[in-house]
Structure 1
Amino acid sequence: MQESRGVRTVLERNFGYAWAAGITMAVATVVLAAVAELPIRDPDNFVPGYIRFPAIVFGAIALDVVPRLIWRLTHGSHGVGNTLRDIMRERWTRAHWLFALGGIGAWYLTYAAFRNLKSFVPFVNSHNWDGEFRHIDQVLWFGHDPAQVLHNLFGTGWAAHFFSGVYFVWIGLVPISIAIALVWTRSRTASSWYVTAVAFDWMLGSLVYLLFPSMGPIYTEAQRGQFSDLPHTYNTDLANSLWDDRVSVVGDVFGSGTLQTIAAFPSLHTGIMVTICVFAQYVGLARWIRVASWIFLGLTIVATLYLGWHYFVDVLGGIALGSFTVWLAALATGNHVGLRPKLKREETEITDSAAASTAPSAS
């Protein structure tokens, strides 16, 4: 019984269930690739993910260490080398290095498998649900199209540039949030909870993509025309690039040399932002972070509808997914009381916090 609890604790605190999600997805990727005769590719052609994600984390480490180094050198410390070694011993113990690298590994495995599974969708399930989702949207919006309503409300000028910027910011938000969880956060339970929740977003999102394939309003003939009045933005280039990739992959899956990444239901832009917002509430992050997260969630939802990436039903699916994964990850990482999510504060963390608050060099 004691041994069972010990194994469970190790899994809870060291991304065990995030690794399990990644391994499950990797196995599914290999099986589907073999059955459907599809290639498995690195998801990032320009800057490989195995370089990009560690670079983000090591950049975050620099932001964690350099300000402390400067502060101490300007407040009495002498010698850059000795001061730097002291900071690294305090902030970056061997255990924390292993913890951070374990999180990076679990994150990258789930991400790489997710991108490949998403690319497999047109080959694994040929049915397209765009017509059904558009009909559901019209029922929910009383016969109106959500994107057209938003175009009428905000216009098709400055709003297109603004919402394109929101969409662009989101792309960098997720890896940066992972870096923050692994670098600055010293609560292993909180970090493991968040990274595991995002891994579950990827895992369940890819499953739903395979079950309910759709492309989104901007890529369907019935609705594509209503986005032609939008000015040229970053979003225009991205949408055209993704469509070119899809045409290339569907036309010659081996010769294309890339992945197709068009899949609309559920909206993972919405889902992962909901995960961030709900997680921030549960762990009690600073009020300004929680408020900013909810505001950005609202902007993200409007942007995905306005720009035509998603149907409203995709947004609802994303909200359900993002909320569910926070709860599921709470159970998987031990952050719960019964079935209610609650951040678990460990004795080691309390001791570390007390020590840090009394140490002369902790500031």
Structure 2
Amino acid sequence: MNDHQDGRRGAPSFALAWVAGLGLAALTVLFSQLEDIPIKDPDSLVPGYIRFPAIVLGAIAIDVVPRILYAAGRPGSGWGARLRTTARTVMRERWPRSHWKFALNGVAAWYLCYAAFRNVKSVAPFVHEKIYDAQLADIDKFLFAGHDPAATLHAWFGTGLAAHFFSSVYIVWIALVPVSIAIALVWTRHTRAGEWYVTAVALDWALGAVLYVALPTVGPIYSDRGTFADLPETYVSRLAASMWDDRVSTLATHGESGLQTIAAFASLHVGIMMTICLVVQAIKLARWIRISAWTFFALTVLATVYLGWHFFVDVLAGAALGAFAVYVAGVATGNRIGWRVQLVPDPVSAPVAPASPEHPGALATRSAPQPDHPAAD
């Protein structure tokens, strides 16, 4: 494929993700100096430089250990030798040097974006002290013909079981993002698809952080507490109270006590879900995965408004942000024909040495991606 079709023109892998991360890191340093606020590790309990390598190594183990055990067969005479031989074969197949480089490059760019994003988000109230919740609430009521969107959803779904259900949706979303990153970097062998997705998420964070500084908000759950007073106690209500305590402490100590994580415009819950939906659509994953992704997107929209995390206008902005990130990341990673983004298959990989005849279960070759399911493992 020539450079015009490819669109990369020799750009290194994850180039735009690194640009986004370095840009956020520069903002972090700038705001830290201007506001005299220390830069913090966003994961104070277990440092990120320990936690994320552990996550990657754990994901690698999940990827290879079942394959090794299956290929080695049942324990018995000579099983130890078979296990060692099979382990070497599977590791050569699944983790050649090129994929180590791809995964480590991607996770490093991703973590830089994540850590810098958390710091920029935390310092936003110091950089821009005005809060725009009242203006966004007015826009919401205009869009809903004078009605409050959250109150409307409470009337439709009630304030009992629905609150617990939407709280569960929020919990699933929290787990979905790191799992999806692990799939894109560790388990997939179609690196163009993985690079596209990770780069798009990095852009989501970078654009979201800029909006948090440009238009600070706290969200309806904090600026209009009365609307949510009838909701029962859930994981989300406890989390919201904890986040508010963190914000009060951070503002009171001028950033010395930790990081605050409250910012509403735009909704990155919705933005990242839009990114997930558009990427799984573009790379033509199985139909049930695409339907599941769009269904969860709809539930995420309902949950963020119902629970008061975001205004409806935050949802609109988040969806636009997520779609924009997918397009720009597609262009930047070479997943385009002209200016239309679409998955460009990985080059055909060279075959590795075949497994020995006595180990037929071991994987023998690395094949090119199939056009119909280019991101399937």
Does TM, scored on the shorter chain, surpass 0.5?
Answer: yes
- What one-letter code is carried by the residue in structure 1 that aligns with 2:102? F
- What one-letter code is carried by the residue in structure 1 that aligns with 2:286? A
Given the alignment, which residue of 110, 113, 137 partners 1:110?
113
Counting helix residues as a fraction of each chain, which structure ranks higher? 1
Q: 2-side partners of 1:3 and 1:197: how far apart?
A: 22
Counterpart in the other structure of 1:123: 126
Using the TM superposition, give the Cα deviation of residue 7 of structure 1 relative to its aligned residue in structure 2, in angstroms: 12
Cα separation, partners in 2 of 1:207 and 1:184, compared to 1, 3 Å: same
Mind listing any 5+ residue stretches in structure 1 that lack a counterpart? none
- What one-letter code is carried by the residue in structure 2 that aligns with 1:26? A
- What one-letter code is carried by the residue in structure 2 that aligns with 1:253? H
Cα separation, partners in 2 of 1:61 and 1:141, compared to 1, 3 Å: same
Q: Within 5 A, what are the aligned runs for 1:336-355?
A: 336-349=336-349
Given the alignment, which residue of 184, 196, 208 partners 1:193?
196
- What do the CA deviations read for 1:93-138 (whole angstroms, capped 9, x no partner)? 1111111011110000000000000011110011211011000000
Cα separation, partners in 2 of 1:7 and 1:342, compared to 1, 3 Å: closer
Question: What's the TM-score once normalised by structure 1's chain length?
Answer: 0.92
Preserved CA contact (<8 Å) 1:39 1:253: no
Q: 1-side partners of 2:83 and 2:361: how far apart?
A: 18
Given the alignment, which residue of 161, 180, 183 partners 1:180?
183
Identity of aligned residues (%): 54
Cα separation, partners in 2 of 1:344 and 1:82, compared to 1, 3 Å: same
Q: 2-side partners of 1:122 and 1:254: how far apart?
A: 10
Using the TM superposition, give the Cα deviation of residue 328 of structure 1 relative to its aligned residue in structure 2, in angstroms: 0.3
Q: 1-side partners of 2:260 and 2:243: how far apart?
A: 7
Using the TM superposition, give the Cα deviation of residue 190 of structure 1 relative to its aligned residue in structure 2, in angstroms: 1.0
Using the TM superposition, give the Cα deviation of residue 149 of structure 1 relative to its aligned residue in structure 2, in angstroms: 0.8
Counterpart in the other structure of 2:210: 207
Preserved CA contact (<8 Å) 1:11 1:17: no
Q: 2-side partners of 1:300 and 1:16: how far apart?
A: 30
Question: What's the TM-score once normalised by structure 2's chain length?
Answer: 0.89
Counterpart in the other structure of 2:174: 171
Q: 2-side partners of 1:360 and 1:237: how far apart?
A: 49
- What do the CA deviations read for 1:237-291 (whole angstroms, capped 9, x no partner)? 11011000000011112431x1011000000000000000001111111111111
Q: 2-side partners of 1:33 and 1:168: how far apart?
A: 31
Counterpart in the other structure of 1:95: 98
Counterpart in the other structure of 2:229: 228
Q: 1-side partners of 2:99 and 2:151: how far apart?
A: 50
Preserved CA contact (<8 Å) 2:6 2:337: no
- What do the CA deviations read for 1:11-48 (whole angstroms, capped 9, x no partner)? 35x21111111111101110111112111100112232
RMSD after superposition: 2.4
**2:286 paired with 1:286:** yes
Cα separation, partners in 2 of 1:283 and 1:7, compared to 1, 3 Å: closer
Q: Which runs of 4+ in 1 moved over 6 A?
A: 2-7
Mind listing any 5+ residue stretches in structure 2 that lack a counterpart? 365-377
Q: 1-side partners of 2:313 and 2:160: how far apart?
A: 26
Q: 2-side partners of 1:352 and 1:253: how far apart?
A: 57
Cα separation, partners in 2 of 1:340 and 1:4, compared to 1, 3 Å: closer
Cα separation, partners in 2 of 1:102 and 1:323, compared to 1, 3 Å: same
Counterpart in the other structure of 2:86: 83
Preserved CA contact (<8 Å) 1:103 1:182: yes
Aligned length: 354
Preserved CA contact (<8 Å) 2:271 2:319: yes
